[in-house]
Each structure stands twice: as C-alpha cells, then as structure tokens.
Amino acid sequence: MDPLHNELDPNSLGARDLKSLLHPSTNLGQIAAEGPVVQARAEGVYVYDEDGRQVLEGMAGLWCTAIGFGEDELADVAREQMKKLSYAHLFGGKTNEASIALAEKILEMVPMPASRVFFGLSGSDANDTQIKLMWYYHNLIGKPERKKIISRIQGYHGTTVAAGSLTGLAPFHAHFDLPIPNILHTDSPHYYRLAEDGETEDQFTDRLAANLDAMIQAEGPDTVAAFIAEPVMGAGGVVVPPDGYYEKMQAVLDRYGIFFIDDEVITGFGRTGQPFGAQTFDIRPTTMSIAKALSSAYLPISGVIVPEFMVDAFRAASPEVGNFAHGFTYSGHPVCSAVALRNLELIEERGVFDHAARMSVPFQERLRRLGDHPLVGNTRGVGLIGAFELVADKQTKKPFDKAVAAGAHLMQRAFEAGLVVRALGDSIAICPPLVISETQIDELFSKIDIALAQTAEHVVRAA
C-alpha cells in the first residue's frame, strides 16, 4: 500500500492516480511518498493545476509542444477528420489523403535526399524502425554482415527494446537486460565534462573522431551499418557538440560507407534555430527520425524518412520476399496525420521558425548570464534549447554530492516559483515552446534566478 493512500482524500486525483497508474520514468518510491503533480489544463506556454495556479512550461512538456498548448485550429482539424475518416490504415496498399498530404509536406521540408516517409507513433518506434530498416536493407543487398549500429554514451533514443538499447544512459539498461547485441556506444561530445586537461575543442573532437575510427576498425568496418545521433543530446543533459564535431565524425563514417541516422525527435522543426538540427550542425543524414514537434504533441505521431536507394532495394526485393512486413496499426493514422499537417502549416503561416530563431538571441543571452552565478559551472545551448550545470566547485568542476540533490532541489524550487524545468542530474534543462515571447523568456529566467538563490542556500545547509 502506498503510504500516501491514507492521507489523501480517496476521491482526489492524487489518491486515484496512486491506485491506478504505473508512471513512466518516475521514481516509484518517491511518488508513493509525495504523490503526483496533477495538471488540469494548458494554454499557450502555460499549464494550470486544479486550483488554477499558472506555471510556465519551460520544457514544452517533454521537449515537444512547439506551437504551444490549446490551439483551437488543431482541435477543429481533429474533429473534422474524426467525422470524415476516423481511422484508416496503410497496410496492403490502402491509403488516405491525410497521410499522403503529411508525407508530401515532410518530404518538402527535410534537408536530405528524401524519398519516402514511414509513419509510427513515437520516437522510440521510429528508432526501432530505423534499426530494422538498416538490417533489412543490408540483408536484401547481400551484405548481411553489416548489422552493428553505433550510438553514443549519453544519447537518448527511446525506451523500447531496440531504441532503449541505442540509448546510452545506464538506468535505461540496468535490470532490463539491455542493450541487445549489435548495438555499440562511442563517446559523448560533452566537452565540459569529458575534455582532458588543457584539451582544446578541436583536439577533443579530433580525439572523438579517432575513437570512432578505432571502434569501427576493431569491430570490422564491414560489420557496421549505421551511426545514430541526436544533433543536440536532450535527455543526456543537453549536450551541444563543439564546432566541427559532426564534420569530423561524418568524415570517418564516409570513409567506411556507414550510414548516418539523424534522430531529430527533439531538434526537428525549429528547435535549434533552423528547421532541422542537420542544418544547424551541417549533418548529411542518410535517414531521419522525427516526432514530437511534428504534431506539437497534440497527437502521437512519428516518422522515419528514407532515401530513394533504400526504397529501391525494398521494392526490388518484393518478388522474392513478398510483403515489406513491418508496420503498425496506427502507421499514418488519419487523425494524427491531419493534425500534424495543420500544425506544420500553422508553424509556417505564423513564421514560428523565424520567431524561434529571433527568440533564441535573448534566450541564449540569459542562459549564458547564468554562468556568472557561483553555483553554475557550465551553460550550453543553441536555438531555444539549453541547460546549465550546477557544481560544488567552479574551478575544479567538482559535482555536488548525490545526497545534496542540487538539481532536484532547483527543479522543485523553480516549480514553486511557477516554472517547469527538468533536472537531468545536476544539469537543468530548458526547452520552452517555440512560441515563447521575449517577456515570457524574462519571466522564465527571473524564476530560475529565484530557484538558484534558494538552491544556493540549500547547498550551504546540506554541506
């Protein structure tokens, strides 16, 4: 029995939650003791609790609500599509206008030689699809030994069996018997934490590219199918790689004909100041995963974008293999597709990419200024995503003792001040809806200032 059961009104949402839900990515002991945080409604960049208390959603939910909450137009489109064709699938050659129109729109937007879009429901299933397509393609072209996928330590690509294996964060593997075979992890490009003493950014990225090369050599270049990366690591702590990193990594991959899977689940659709992270960081993707801002999270939908040469191989094999035997009941769901399409149109009509790029200037400026605070060892960010890292000693970069829980404390104080941020250890992530205004950016950072001041008192008490 959860300890809170007896204290809470049994009809309250908190009590009912504790008796009914198994929460994802949640400390189950803590929620049992403290109860859940109930969200009642949301509008624009703000969420509200049951008592109407307003909180600025500085994380756009889970890095996803690009256009903000409560858009009537998207509700209207969902309603119309539900009345017209509430469900249709793409199996066995069936199709529907909403899926086609969305795929056309995506192909128009992505900065890569793109041929087709395969729809799913989540970033995880998109990345599972990526792995399966890499395996399928190499089997079909007679290179069945090319099976390994190189991901990165600290990368986050989801939590299903395969995507969870790509994720390079220990808690997502421990006790789940992951990773599966054929998934490798190379270095994280976290310069602040992982550079050696005196190492310049250039030397650091040279070393990482050399390590990638050595890994490929050790594994056997003909056994490696693809490398997967988020242009900016999100859940791993908002890791923005140093200039030149992707150019050097991509040169190594090109040397061995290894594909680049570009996981744009967070960075896609305006987050980094350009439409896609690939543009901000000069990445040349072979394939791409998209989700989150694709529909601004109004409905679940993801996509895997594939080039012509892969589709050609799939098509050419059909006399022999029969069906392309992969897909989901909800691949190309017409309601999700219609809503995602309208979301992308609204983003275009309202100039949201340009707005986000403009807002990134005051956002990044305020973020950098946090670096003056005695508790902040590092700030990093690009576009409208960023993080600052709390440290016990700025000179030595010494982290706080785990027991101090500095990051968790700051997150809680920020929430009390009316702001959602996310503590990834002692790195505090910020990723507001792309429609945030300059005044709201001021509000966001004023609340962080309050939370930082309170955290400074906390760490002294906890010392």
Binding site for ligand PLP (CB under 6 A): 62, 122-124, 127, 156-158, 230, 234-235, 263, 265-266, 291
Bridging pattern class, strands 41-43 and 148-152: unpaired
Which residues are CB-neighbours of 259 under 8 A, at least 6 positions away?
A: 134, 225, 226, 227, 253, 286, 287
User: Shortest gap between Cβ of 177 and ligand PLP (angstroms)?
Assistant: 19
User: Shortest gap between Cβ of 126 and ligand PLP (angstroms)?
Assistant: 7
Using CB positions, name the residue nearest to ligand PLP: 123
User: Shortest gap between Cβ of 404 and ligand PLP (angstroms)?
Assistant: 27
Query: Encoding tokens for residue 387?
Result: 């993080």
User: Shortest gap between Cβ of 266 and ligand PLP (angstroms)?
Assistant: 4
User: Shortest gap between Cβ of 300 and ligand PLP (angstroms)?
Assistant: 7
C-alpha–C-alpha distance, residues 432 and 444, integer Å: 9
Whichever of 156 and 445 has its CB closer to ligand PLP, that residue is 156
Whichever of 183 and 235 has its CB closer to ligand PLP, that residue is 235
Whichever of 123 and 399 has its CB closer to ligand PLP, that residue is 123
Token look-up 């967070």 returns 266
User: Shortest gap between Cβ of 402 and ligand PLP (angstroms)?
Assistant: 24
C-alpha–C-alpha distance, residues 261 and 254, integer Å: 13
Whichever of 295 and 440 has its CB closer to ligand PLP, that residue is 295
User: Shortest gap between Cβ of 316 and ligand PLP (angstroms)?
Assistant: 30
Cis peptide before 300 (omega within 30 of 0): no
Whichever of 71 and 230 has its CB closer to ligand PLP, that residue is 230
Among 269, 295, 289, 276, smallest CA distance to 163 is for: 289
C-alpha–C-alpha distance, residues 362 and 441, integer Å: 8
Whichever of 64 and 452 has its CB closer to ligand PLP, that residue is 64
C-alpha–C-alpha distance, residues 318 and 93, integer Å: 13
Residue 230 and residue 167 in contact, taking contact as beta carbons nearer than 8 Å: no
Whichever of 291 and 411 has its CB closer to ligand PLP, that residue is 291
User: Shortest gap between Cβ of 122 and ligand PLP (angstroms)?
Assistant: 3
Whichever of 230 and 426 has its CB closer to ligand PLP, that residue is 230
User: Shortest gap between Cβ of 87 and ligand PLP (angstroms)?
Assistant: 21
In degrees and rounded to multiples of 5, residue 232 shows phi and psi of -120, 125
Whichever of 266 and 444 has its CB closer to ligand PLP, that residue is 266
